[in-house]
Amino acid sequence: MDRLSQAYEQMGISPRVYGLCSEIELKLKERFEEIDRITECNQLKVLHAMHKHRVSEAHLAPTTGYGYNDIGRETLEKVYAEIFGTQAALVRSQITCGTHALAVALSANLRPGDELISPVGKPYDTMEEIIGIRPSKGSLAEYGVTYKQVELLEDGTFDYPAIENAISEKTKMMTIQRSKGYLTRPSFSVKQLGELIAFIKKIKPDICCMVDNCYGEFVELTEPSNVGADMVVGSLIKNPGGGLAPIGGYICGTKECVENAGYRLTAPGLGSEVGATLGVNKDFFQGLFHAPQVVNGALKGAVFAANLYEHLGFECVPDSKEPRHDIIQAVTLRDPEKVIAFCEGIQHASPVDSHVTPTPWAMPGYDCDVIMAAGTFISGASIELSADAPMHEPYTVYFQGGLSYHHAKLGIMSSLARLENKGLINL
C-alpha cells in the first residue's frame, strides 16, 4: 500500500473505494486540461482588471460610519464591472446573500403594474417568496407586480413561441436562472442565454433581462453580461468570493439598473454613496483574485462526482460527458437514506464540524425539509465543500464546491464510503 492510499485510509476511505475512484480519475485527464485552459484565461482577465484600475494597498483599508469616499469599495466595483463587461457594479457586504441580491435587483427595477416573467420555468425555491408565488410579507406581488412563467420544453430548452406569447405591454423584466436550483433540468450555457436574450429583445427591446448568475461565474470564458444581459446577480460566498469573502453579493449591469439597486439597498437620496466596508475589502479583493482557481477545483470535483456516480448507475445532471455551465452536480439517489448518508460523508470530510451529523430541517425559504452538509470556514458558503437536498422525490442531492480539487475529491470519496459503510451500496 502506497503512502497516498494509506493517507486516504486514515480518512476513512476503504481500499475498495480508493481503487474505484483512482480508476475513474485516470480517465479525466483531458477534461481537467480543458478546465485548466478556461481557468488560465479567467485568471488573466481578473488580473488585467486589477491592473487597469490600479488596485493598491490603500484600497484594502477599512472604513466606518457612513463610508463616504471609500476608495477601496469604489475601485472594487470598477474591477467587477470590468470583469463582467458592464457599465457599473454594486458589490457590498450589506447584501447578505444571493437571495438578497436578487430581491434588491428585482424590487429596485420593477414598479406597481409591471410584469415579471421567468422564461425558464420554476425559479429557485427562495425566489418564490420574493416574487409572491408563495405568499410572503414584502413580496413583489404585495406591491402590485404580476408574474408569469413559461415552462421549458421536455428536452430542457426554451419554448420560444410560448415566450413570445407571454410577453405583453406590461412586461418589464425577465428573470433568468442560469443554474438548475433544486431541479434536474440542465443549467444554461452563456451561448444559450445570449440567444434567449437576443430573442426577447427583438420582440420588446426595453425588457430588462436579469440573470441569476449564482454558481456560474468563471465556469466559462464569458459571462451572461457579455451577451446582452442587463444585470447579472450573485453571491460572494459562492464563486466570485473565492472562499475568502465572509459575506456579500454583487449586481453588475447597466448604469441605470445598478443605480436603482443602490437606492433600493440603502435609501432614496443616498444610493451607493454610503456603506462602510468595515475591513472586508482585502478579503473581497483577494477572494476575487483566487476565484478562478477555486472554481477550477470545484469544477473538477463536480466532473469527478458525475463520472463516479454515473459509473455506479445513478442518474447525474449534468452527466459525465456534458460540458459544464455551473459548479453544481446533481445526483439522483431515489432513497432518503442514501441522501442522508451522502451528506454525512460530505460533512465528515469537512475541515470544520467534521464530527457533526447533518439532519433534515425546516430551513427558512423552503417548502419542505432540507438537509445541508457544510462544514465551512464561512457559514453556509457553498463554494466550499457542501451538499444539500430537499427531502422529497426523487431524492436528488446537490453537490458543489471545494476550495481545492483534492478536497472536493475527498468529499465525494467520503460520500461513497458512507454509503458503503451503511450497506446502501455494493462496490
In this structure, is residue 347 part of a structural domain?
A: yes
Q: What is the DSSP letter of 267?
A: -
Same structural domain, 86 and 223: yes
Last-in-domain residue among 231, 258, 279: 279
Same structural domain, 271 and 308: no
In this structure, is residue 284 part of a structural domain?
A: no
How many CB atoms within 10 Å of residue 154? 7
Q: 10-residue block means of pLDDT along the chain (427 residues)? A: 90 96 97 98 98 98 96 98 98 97 98 98 92 95 98 96 98 96 89 98 98 98 98 98 98 98 98 97 98 98 98 96 96 97 97 96 84 94 95 95 97 98 93
Q: Determine the pLDDT at residue 183.
A: 81
Same structural domain, 182 and 311: no
Same structural domain, 266 and 388: no
CB contact at 8 A, 329 and 308: no
Last-in-domain residue among 227, 260, 279: 279
Same structural domain, 158 and 205: yes
In this structure, is residue 221 part of a structural domain?
A: yes
Same structural domain, 182 and 246: yes
CATH of the domain at 155: 3.40.640.10
Q: Determine the pLDDT at residue 96.
A: 97
Q: Determine the pLDDT at residue 365.
A: 73
Who's near 407: CB < 8 A, 6+ residues apart? 297, 301, 349, 351, 385
Same structural domain, 384 and 272: no
Cα(103)–Cα(297) distance, rounded to whole angstroms? 30
Same structural domain, 104 and 208: yes
In this structure, is residue 49 part of a structural domain?
A: no
**Residue whose cell numbers read 430588462:** 208
In this structure, is residue 56 part of a structural domain?
A: no
Q: Determine the pLDDT at residue 176.
A: 98
Cα(383)–Cα(220) distance, rounded to whole angstroms? 16
In this structure, is residue 54 part of a structural domain?
A: no
C-beta contacts of 416-420 below 8 A and 24+ residues apart: 416/17, 416/20, 416/21, 416/308, 416/312, 416/345, 417/12, 417/13, 417/14, 417/17, 417/345, 418/341, 418/342, 418/344, 418/345, 418/348, 419/338, 419/341, 419/342, 419/345, 420/14, 420/16, 420/17
Strands 396-400 and 329-332: antiparallel
Same structural domain, 74 and 36: no
Terminal Cα-to-Cα distance of the chain (whole angstroms): 20
Q: Determine the pLDDT at residue 367.
A: 78
In this structure, is residue 51 part of a structural domain?
A: no
How many domains is the chain partitioned into structurally? 2
Q: What is the pTM of this model?
A: 0.96
Same structural domain, 268 and 293: no
Same structural domain, 370 and 405: yes
Cα(236)–Cα(98) distance, rounded to whole angstroms? 8
Who's near 328: CB < 8 A, 6+ residues apart? 179, 180, 187, 215, 302, 398, 399, 400
CATH of the domain at 386: 3.90.1150.60
In this structure, is residue 85 part of a structural domain?
A: yes
Same structural domain, 73 and 129: yes
Domain of 151?
A: 62-279
Last-in-domain residue among 225, 260, 279: 279
